[in-house]
Chains A and B, each alone.
Chain A
Amino acid sequence: MAEPPVVLVTGVAQGIGRGITKRLTESGYAVVGLDIADTPPAELVDFERIDITDAAAAAAALDRLTRRHPIVRVVNNVGSSLRENVAESTGDTQRWLNRLNLGSVMLCVQAALPAMRAAGFGRIVNITSRAVFGRETRSAYAATKSALASLTRAWAVELAGDGITVNAVGPGMIDTELFRRNNPHNAPDVTRLRQAVPMQRLGQPEEVAHAVAFFLDDRASYITGQTVFVCGGLSLGTPPPPRA
């Protein structure tokens, strides 16, 4: 029996990353993970605890993982967000999110590219956000996600000739601990968005994971540079009709 295909997933300890790990394992992948927290999901076949904003330490951990596993599939999930109005910004949030949401992606892609090129095959899935279209109260976060969307399109073209697809999944309001921490229930911007979700509910991590699994699939071989928004219709920007 063939070895199960390996997927590297970053930010596996909680929320969407944990949901992705569970789903990909159920779909027959061997998932190797990275996280800053020492509470990895039980499904993982390998794990490195690392603060990925420490680029040197993260590169060393990635080097160990790529020596232990043939990694040609990467899910760049790790990321965070912080509520911060422009009026209160000091630049520190932007600098931190640049490292966590973008530096992490660069490190993982560069670590996996040699094996992908050698195989003439690769799958890169970047977790962006509905906030690529802009988000008040967290412009620094939206900037990093918009940058990742831009990188997704650019790399799709750059790497297409090597058989590597690069796609993005853009979650909307997903029921995670990060979401709850960043979205006080009665904040005006949160109310505005919650009421604008046509499906009138939060999404679940496994619903995001389903889109990730789609892009990772060998049969998704002619799809690159695309984004699927898993947002209950929120990206359409049109509130649902009032209930009768």
Chain B
Amino acid sequence: MAGSGDALLVGLGRAALPAVAQRLAADGYRVLALREADEAPGAFDDIAALLHARAPGFRPDAVVIAAAAPAPAPGGVDAVAVAALMDALDGTLATAGLVAKSLFAAAPPHPARAVVMLDWAVTSTPGRTAASAVMGGLLGLARSWALEFAPRGVTTNAVVVGPDVDGARDPAEEAWLVRRPTADDAAHAVAFFLDPRSSAITGQVLLVCGGRTAGRLTI
């Protein structure tokens, strides 16, 4: 796939995107990955300034945003501390909003492509209340940015990454999957949305799930 220009990978919290970085570099992008946990507190509140300080001359045309999903709380919804949930929501959603403001609401030239990567918890996943809320929130942001930034020529799409390959399950139990998705499969979907030829595609959600959501209500 034809890639060119600068691609910025934004990892909220501890999120890292090695497979996406590798894929986009292979496609010909110049890739810069910033991870919130590696920066000074509050640095992502003005990521354009951080970018300018870190890599002057780097002008991202493509931006990929991902957040680490909060860990499951043993005990389900009853055991989730409301204060911890608020921290998770604030940390991800408020910061994501400021990242979008800094990158896409700025004066031109600004990036033209955004992809938000979502954890599987955004689907009907029990036992992961905080992750379901955070990822659902990010989905709402992505869909809203698609509408709000359309007049600026910015596309925003979402990629839902299938459940981790943990090797714990007997593959025969999941014979109905076409195959288990990998991180490279998700990176392929990201590359598709970032491709300049995808410039008429916005506000969409692509689930890279190996067939897990075939024949069911999704999101």
Instruction: Confirm or deny: B129 has a beta carbon within 8 angstroms of a beta carbon on chain A.
Output: yes
Enumerate chain B residues within 8 angstroms of A89, measured Cβ to Cβ: 97-98, 101
Q: Of A91, A144, A149, A157, which contacts B98 at CB under 8 A?
A: A91
Within 8 Å by CB of A150, from B94, B122, B148, lies B122
B124 contacts chain A at the CB level, 8 A cutoff: yes
Inter-chain contact A106/B203, CB cutoff 8 Å: no
Per-residue B-contact encoding for A139-161, CB less than 8 Å = 1, 0 else: 11011111111110111111100
* Chain A 78-103 interface mask (CB, 8 Å, partner B; 1/0): 00000001110111001100110011
Interface positions of B from 122 to 154, Cβ below 8 Å from A:
122-129, 132-149
Determine whether A123 belongs to the interface, using a CB cutoff of 8 Å to chain B: no
Question: With the chains together, A85 CA to B77 CA distance in Å?
Answer: 32
Closest to A148 in B: B136
- Is the beta-carbon distance between B144 and A135 smaller than 8 angstroms? yes
Per the bound structure, the CA–CA distance linking A113 and B78 in Å amounts to 7
Supplied contacts A138-B144, A151-B132, A157-B125, 10 more A-B pairs, CB within 8 Å: A85-B148, A90-B98, A91-B98, A94-B90, A102-B85, A110-B77, A135-B144, A136-B147, A154-B126, A156-B124
Interface set of B (CB-CB < 8 Å, partner A): 45, 76-78, 80, 82-83, 85-86, 89-90, 93-95, 97-98, 100-101, 104-105, 121-129, 132-149, 203, 217, 219
Is A139's CB under 8 angstroms from B148's CB? Answer: yes
CB distance from A74 to the nearest CB of B (A): 13
Query: Which chain A residues numbered 177 to 219 have a C-beta less than 8 Å away from chain B?
Result: none
Once the chains are docked, how many angstroms separate the CA of A70 from the CA of B191? 53
CB of A234 to closest CB in B, whole Å: 14
B78 near A110 (CB under 8 angstroms)? yes
Partner of B138, one of A86, A143, A145, A148: A143
Is the beta-carbon distance between B98 and A147 smaller than 8 angstroms? Answer: no
Q: Are B97 and A150 in touch, CB under 8 angstroms?
A: no
Most buried by A among B124, B129, B133, B142: B133
Q: By the criterion CB–CB under 8 Å, are A149 and B125 in contact?
A: no
- Residues of chain A within 8 A (CB-CB) of B140 are 131-132, 134, 139, 142-147
Cβ B83 vs Cβ A55 within 8 A: yes
Q: Are A135 and B147 in contact (CB under 8 A)?
A: yes
Using known A-B contacts A103-B82, A146-B137, A155-B77, determine if residue A86 contacts B148 with beta carbons closer than 8 Å: yes
- Cβ contacts under 8 Å, B217 to chain A: 225
A222: interface (CB < 8 Å): no
Query: Please, could you name 8 A-B residue pairs with CB atoms under 8 Å apart, sorted by A?
Result: A86-B97, A86-B149, A140-B93, A143-B97, A147-B134, A150-B133, A154-B125, A154-B129
Interface of A is mostly: helix
Q: What is the interface of chain A, defined by CB distance below 8 A to chain B?
A: 55, 59, 85-87, 89-91, 94-95, 98-99, 102-103, 106-107, 109-110, 113, 131-140, 142-151, 153-159, 225
Evaluate whether A98 and B86 lie within 8 angstroms (CB atoms) in the complex, with A143-B138, A146-B137 already known: yes
Is the CB–CB distance between A154 and B121 below 8 Å? yes
A137 touches B125 (CB 8 A): no
Q: How far is the CA of A154 from the CA of B134 in the complex (A)?
A: 12
Q: Which residues of B contact A149 (CB under 8 A)?
A: 136, 219
- Given A91-B98, A157-B125, also A86-B105 (CB < 8 A): yes
Bound form: Cα–Cα A150–B129 in Å: 9
CB distance from A148 to the nearest CB of B (A): 7
Cα A155 to Cα B122 with chains together (Å)? 12
Contact status B100-A154, CB under 8 Å: no
- Please indicate which of the listed interface residues B97, B105, B144 has the most CB atoms of chain A within 10 Å of its own CB: B144
Asked whether B93 lies within 8 Å of A143 as measured between CB atoms, the reply is yes
- How distant is the Cα of A220 from the Cα of B188 in the complex, in angstroms? 42
Residues of B within 8 A of A157 (CB): 124-126
Nearest 5 CB-CB pairs, A to B?
Answer: A150-B136, A146-B140, A134-B143, A158-B126, A139-B144
B90 engages A146 (CB within 8 Å) = no
A225 to B136 CA separation, bound complex (whole angstroms): 14
Taking the closest CB of chain B, its distance from the CB of A229, in whole angstroms, is 14
